[in-house]
Amino acid sequence: MSTETLPEVLPDIEHENEDVERTSKTYLPLYKVIMWDDDMTTMEFVIRILTNLFRKDYTTAEKLMYEIHFKGAAHVETLPLEQAEFKVEQVHSAAAMEQFPFRCTIEPV
């Protein structure tokens, strides 16, 4: 009776070059949205923009508004470029509708 056994050394198995791309997470570059103080825009408007457009709670919005008022500017959000540009456009449109010169800008993180 013959008993077949596995060879002591398994033959090398050639694998196709599996280009299993290990996707390293590529993040979009982030930008800071900066709001600037001016002498005409009301504090109420700034708080409204922060709560409505940036979804800040009232307490956070008030703190940011005072930082803008007393320091001249404040970093209010960090977003990918396209989203940051869109927020700036929304702020400028809302300010123009109420005839405020309120401005915000973006800068790379």
Identify the H or E element spanning 74: strand 73-80
Query: Could you tell me the residue range of the domain that residue 102 belongs to?
Result: 30-108
Q: Is the pLDDT of residue 7 over 80?
A: no
Model confidence band, residue 28 (pLDDT cutoffs 50, 70, 90): confident
Give the pLDDT of residue 15. Answer: 55
Does a structural domain hold residue 54? yes
Does a structural domain hold residue 2? no
The string of pLDDT tens digits covering residues 87-100 is 999 999 999 999 99
- Predicted model pTM: 0.74
Minimal CA–CA distance to 87: which of 55, 39, 43, 45? 55
Query: Which residues does residue 75 pair with via DSSP β-bridges, in sequence order?
Result: 34
Model confidence band, residue 10 (pLDDT cutoffs 50, 70, 90): low
| C-alpha pair distances (Å), 79 with each of 46, 71, 93, 95, 107 | 19, 22, 19, 21, 10
Does a structural domain hold residue 24? no
Does a structural domain hold residue 85? yes
CATH of the domain at 97: 3.30.1390.10
Does a structural domain hold residue 45? yes
How many structural domains compose the chain? 1
Does a structural domain hold residue 59? yes
Does a structural domain hold residue 19? no
Does a structural domain hold residue 7? no
